[in-house]
Chains A and B, each alone.
Chain A
Amino acid sequence: MHTTEKHTPKFTGKRHRLDKPELLAPAGNLEKLKFAIHYGADAVYIGGQKYGLRSNADNFSFEEMKEGVEFAKKYGAKVFVATNIYAHNEDIAGIEEYLRNLHEAGISAIIAADPIIVDTARRVVPELEVHLSTQQSTLNWQAVQFWKEEGLPRVVLGRETSLEVIAEIKNHVDIEIEAFIHGAMCSSYSGRCVLSNHFTDRDSNRGGCCQSCRWKYDLFEDGRPEEVWVSEEEAKESRVLQQFNLGVNQHPLFSEEDNAFTMSSKDLCMIAHIPDLIDVGVDSFKIEGRMKSIHYVATVVNVYRQAIDAYMADPDNYVLRPEWVEEMNKAANRPLNTGFFYDTPDHEDHIYEPEEKAAPYDFAGLVLEYDEESKMATIQQRNHFKPGQEVEFFGPGGSVFKQTVGQIWDESGNELNAARHPLQRIKLKVEQPVRYFDMMRKKK
């Protein structure tokens, strides 16, 4: 039998304003917004046509923002817009109008890094909340206090802050703290990397980042031979020596069989540490990934929603459920770690080995309808599937079941040997009840 022990928090901080932490999810487009909110996000952040750091994303028009805000309202959820570039001279003229339009579209907050965007928002649309972006790399409570005095209700801390530091900040300043809890991370201080600018002339701080930190590099030393880590013989064998004309005293710090040097970080995942994050008083739990798939967003949001709710409902009896971790792994694109929350990342937190294939599951179909009597579901095709294939259904709240696809029919009742057409409505028998917005996935 499970015995109950009183939960003793390892970290304590004050949570302000919100009685329960907000789960904040990325929404790369209107459809992702709907999934994120339906699967449990309290708020989503999106990008507009300007001033955001994902210039390749399928960004929102003002009309789409309005529709997104309307959808969110039905769930009591909020929509934030990332305006987190570092502006150049040419960007300045349009800021006021853009911010007014965001406010008019019903956006609750902007996430801004450049003080001129912060300041303009405070001046022009004071009703629009401004949250300081992680791009400012805010690491100390005095800086947080500064931004509070500038009128900001919330600061997204630099990803380099540990739980201990967050506790100190929470105990010094009465302000909402947002922290990234899941997803890909800059391995540099956010905003303090222009590798992309140097390698490809793409401006990282205006949304052009080409992720040069994930490329492969070789590490050398200018110096005296006796300081070298590899033997001269090993150096001669080096794959780079054959291509690169080294100077007299330049030595590779790797040998033939070594993996290349890289700055590539593993992805953040804090599912195993929800109690610590809640106890320390983090107000908003942020998931990274405006470029990620619907399947990713729905799966990750769903799991965190359950964990947060379970802990808030009964902290003393809270346990990390193994199926949450399993679910996370179905969506994970890279190996996972806990970032800087407990310690500075070390050799186990970077990706030196060749990367494994991304997320092992695909979104195969969206449940549109379910008929209790006939146990028939109407599915909107999102990827190829066919009879005999094993699929998994899941929906908000953690209901998951596997089944083998039986016979499938199109809307006119014609039997099909595969679901081949994007968005086609397909009927199939399901072994457990499903609901609108439940998802069907298949192994890749």
Chain B
Amino acid sequence: MMGNKPELLAAAGSLQEVKEYIAAGANAVLIGEERFGTRLPGNMNIADISEAVRAAHADQAKVYVSVNNLISNEILDELSGYVQALAAAGVDGIEFGDPAVLRAVQQYAPSLNLHWNAEMTSTNYATANYWGSKGAVRVLLARELNMDELTEMKPHLQIEAEVQVHGMTNIYHSKRKLVQSYMTHQGRPVQGENLGQDRGLFLIEAERQDEKFPIFEDSNGTHIMSSDDICILEDLHILLGAGMDSLKIETILKPISYNRTVIQVYRTAIDTYFEDPEGYEFQETWMDTIREVQDPERELSFGFFYKEQVY
């Protein structure tokens, strides 16, 4: 049986990225700004977002906006205006984690599609369906789930399923300014200095000398990212066969050229699969194309797709 072709979604940080990623084969982009959305590859204000919507829609692609911050009281007052502006800009959906965003959308912009993204805490179908009953039409499943969990939950989901197939993941988020605190502790305070994504900071754990964990600070606090990049290309057919609705490529902390290549490869794999699902075969050359552009210090891995976790 052949299901629907899933959407290929890429996070984007600028109008240029939006255009390039769509040209490379993305059916949808995820954009937004730091004040409302977490860990985006770049900040785009409402004017940029409107422009992105125009550009994307001209190419039959969709634009989703991340509003998945942990919302503070201070941001609450701006939420209603923001979601109204997003609706007016014609975005195709927003990502949320905080119930305050759900309320704001219901009250001020009920036409907006809601995608539930609670990062590492969206771990089962029943909770996803709970948010579905509150109005969500899609869940971004936690990256810490394995393939068995993902495929077994799909038939139980009453809303669309989005799965990250490539790129790094966030493994720690704190409101604290941990880099600033550390540098101050050393007697070398860095107030006002850029500690953001483009600074290129990373951590090494004492007993894992070959793993680099990117770390950055922004107005949402301190973020630590995985030392490896998920790449499920080799087993993409399992997700395609399971009927996942959207496959996400995380583009954060990567050069545009890298992301373009990755999107092109996944595009090719998806299209090849849907030409003939039965006869589909994974091509090692696709992996080679990605390996060529992959940072040699970052492992391409299956992430948690084939891991059993204990507790």
Contacts and interface: CB of A to CB of B under 8 A. Distances in A.
Interface in B120-165: 120-121, 123-127, 130-131, 144-145, 149, 152-153, 156
Interface in A330-373: 340, 344-347, 349-350, 352
A22 B116 CA distance: 35
Interface string B190-209: 10000000011111111011
A147 B99 CA distance: 8
A70 B75 CA distance: 46
Contacts of B203: 217-220, 261
A247 interface: yes
Given A137-B70, A229-B188, A55 B311 contact: yes
Between A92, A192, A206, the greatest number of chain B beta carbons within 10 A of the residue's beta carbon is seen for A192
Interface in B189-245: 190, 199-206, 208-210, 212-213, 215, 221-222, 224, 226-227
B256 interface: no
| Centre residue among B152, B227, B309 by max chain A CB count within 10 A | B309
Contacts of A428: none
B185 A259 contact: yes
A169 B75 CA distance: 14
A219 B182 contact: yes
Interface stretch (A61-69, A207-215, A277-285, A390-398): A207-215
Which size class do B's interface residues fall under? 35 or more
Most chain A C-beta atoms within 10 Å of own C-beta, residue among B72, B104, B185: B185
B70 A87 contact: no
B105 to A, nearest CB: 12
A225 interface: no
B233 to A, nearest CB: 21
A contact residues, range? 35 or more
B82 to A, nearest CB: 14
B55 interface: no
B310 A202 contact: yes
A194 B172 contact: yes
Nearest to B188: A229
B152 A346 contact: no
A140 B72 contact: yes
Given A116-B126, A142-B103, 10 more contacts: A139-B72, A140-B76, A147-B99, A189-B173, A193-B172, A215-B206, A217-B203, A220-B204, A263-B178, A347-B181
Interface of A: 55, 86-89, 91-92, 113-116, 119, 135, 137, 139-143, 145-147, 158, 160, 165, 168-169, 187-189, 191-195, 197-199, 201-203, 205-208, 212-213, 215-223, 229, 240, 243-244, 247, 253-254, 258-263, 265, 340, 344-347, 349-350, 352
Q: Which 4 A-B pairs have the closest CB atoms?
A: A208-B311, A222-B200, A142-B100, A146-B99
